[in-house]
Structure 1
Amino acid sequence: MYEPIRTKSVHTMADTAQYPHRSREEELDIQLAGHLSALLAVTDELGLEEAGDRIAREVARLRGAAPVRHAELSGAGADALHRRAHALAGRTLVVAASRADTGVAILAAERMDAHALVEAA
């Protein structure tokens, strides 16, 4: 009654061995390094060298190479930069907590506090 299917189905799954896969830990490391790099750029623009050096060490640990330090200024005001840094530190804290990276979580919380104090002043 029905004619047999002669072509390969378009609904079959591709061979998963062909595509690279990363573990959840690897994905969190990439995300954490990205948030830290963004925080580093804002921290460098604010001229906070000691904090920038601490952040750069964590980025280097996660990526296996030293990060490129911020080279260009955005022209944003100090208040806007502190708000941006506070938000980035918050995102970093969430990912660090998810990854259970205590060192980065503490660093992110310290940066949030530092930028919150400047915003409040």
Structure 2
Amino acid sequence: MYEPIRTKSVHTMAGADEDFPHRSREEELDIQLAGHLAALLAVTDDLRALCPDADLDTAAEQLAQEVARLRDGKPPVRAAVTATSGGTSAASGDGRDPRLAALHQRAHALAGRALVVAASRADTAAAILAAHRMDAHAAAQDGRQLAAC
């Protein structure tokens, strides 16, 4: 009724070590953390374009250094930051730019993900940086910095 299986199962683990390269848990966490920090860097660069700020410039440099460290010295690819006018033209009635609010919310979420991975791999430097970025973006979401642009 059924045709017999003629090929080797793809689920067989015998001899699988030679078939494809394996990464350690630490390597996987490094890759994941570098990805979260690179995404946070991209959002930070977007924020810098909408609302130039020395704190964001410093944060972007720190993020770029961390990503390069996790990628064995290879710097992250970054878009050139070009400052735009304030951002209040698209602002809502309370003087806040909804684009800034959305970017700060996205950055806060990415920093949270980076913090979880950094804590998992016991990377103190990355965890501290991610926690600082979470605090900064939470403060911005609360409105302490959104109206400044």
Which category of TM-score, normalised to the shorter sequence, fits these structures? 0.7 to 0.9
Which one is further off, 38-47 or 14-23?
14-23
Deviations 1:52-107 (A, max 9, x none): 0000000000002011113489xx71000000000000000000000000000000
Q: Distance in 1 between matches of 2:11 and 2:118?
A: 38
Q: What's the TM-score once normalised by structure 1's chain length?
A: 0.86
Change (3 A) 1:7 1:98: same
Q: Distance in 2 between matches of 1:6 and 1:105?
A: 50
Give the aligned CA root-mean-square deviation in angstroms.
2.2
Aligned partner (choices 67, 75, 79) of residue 59 of structure 1: 67
Q: Distance in 1 between matches of 2:103 and 2:70?
A: 24
Partner of 2:53: none
Q: Distance in 1 between matches of 2:5 and 2:99?
A: 66
Q: Answer yes or no: is the 8 Å Cα contact 2:45–2:81 preserved in 1.
A: no
Q: Answer yes or no: is the 8 Å Cα contact 1:96–1:102 preserved in 2.
A: yes
Partner of 2:77: 68
Aligned partner (choices 95, 101, 108) of residue 130 of structure 2: 108
Structure 1 segments (4+ residues) deviating >4 Å: 5-9
Q: Answer yes or no: is the 8 Å Cα contact 1:40–1:70 preserved in 2.
A: no
Which one has the bigger helix percentage? 1
Q: Answer yes or no: is the 8 Å Cα contact 1:82–1:115 preserved in 2.
A: yes
Displacement of 1:10 in angstroms is: 3.6
Q: What's the TM-score once normalised by structure 2's chain length?
A: 0.70
Change (3 A) 1:12 1:102: closer
- Give % identity: 61
Change (3 A) 1:49 1:19: same
Q: Aligned residues, how many?
A: 115
Could you list the runs of 5+ residues in structure 2 that have no partner in the other structure?
49-55, 83-97, 144-149
Change (3 A) 1:11 1:91: closer
Could you list the runs of 5+ residues in structure 1 that have no partner in the other structure?
none
Q: Answer yes or no: is the 8 Å Cα contact 1:42–1:85 preserved in 2.
A: yes
